[in-house]
Amino acid sequence: MNKQELETLLLELDTEFTRAFRNPEPISVLVVGGACLLLLDITDRLTKDIDVIITDLEGTGEATMVWQLTKTTKKMRQIITSIGKRHGLPRREQMFFNDDCSPFLLESGPVPPVRLFRAYQKLHLYVPADLGYMLACKLMAGRPDKDDSDIAILRGILGVESRAQAQAVVDRFFADPIDQQTHDLPKTLTRLFKKR
């Protein structure tokens, strides 16, 4: 999906959420991953989904659509899948708006400072206030085919030129060295900063 397609889906999702959930409090999410970079015009790389962390579900605090589903999160999943089907997305991509990444991100560190990106009627989208968080996430994920081009762009924006600088960015958000080792951060940094 490109940026325009993401925005169309988000608008439709907000409309459906507004109809389904009468509580006046918003559903607030932190957008991360490729969708965040696409919506912020940092990259034009297509994405298959919108990765989020649900930071406040109608005034009740953090929530997830991954496990221990509530009546509300079950309904959210149904709405998202229904929209995905309507748009002809492949079955495995119909949950185009998901928080599958949140268990890893929330276990590895707290939600970073955020800024409001867009407030629809029901759905409020936030993005990291510091793009260093996005770089840290991409370095921790370390997938050459999906992350390397985003890492290169973020390094340029943030002026991260050395392995030590990259390590310092990760340490700000994901400080646990065991967690870094588990996610092969040292290998990723070696691959990205090998001497030429």
pLDDT along the chain (196 residues), means of 10: 96 98 96 96 95 96 92 97 96 96 87 97 98 97 92 97 97 95 95 78
Domain limits, the chain: 3-128, 132-192
Helical segments of 21-87, H only: 33-39, 71-86
Q: What is the pLDDT of residue 195?
A: 60
Q: Which two tokens stand for residue 42?
A: 């940092």
Q: What is the pLDDT of residue 172?
A: 96
Q: What is the pLDDT of residue 196?
A: 45
Q: Which two tokens stand for residue 123?
A: 């759905």
Rama region for 29: left / alpha / beta (φ>0; ψ in -120 to 50; rest):
beta
- Taking residue 35's Cβ as centre, other Cβ atoms within 10 Å add up to 23
Q: pTM of the full predicted structure?
A: 0.94
**β partners of residue 38:** none
Q: For the chain, how long is the longest CA-to-CA vector?
A: 58
Contact 35, 50 (CB under 8 A): yes
Q: Which two tokens stand for residue 176?
A: 């646990």
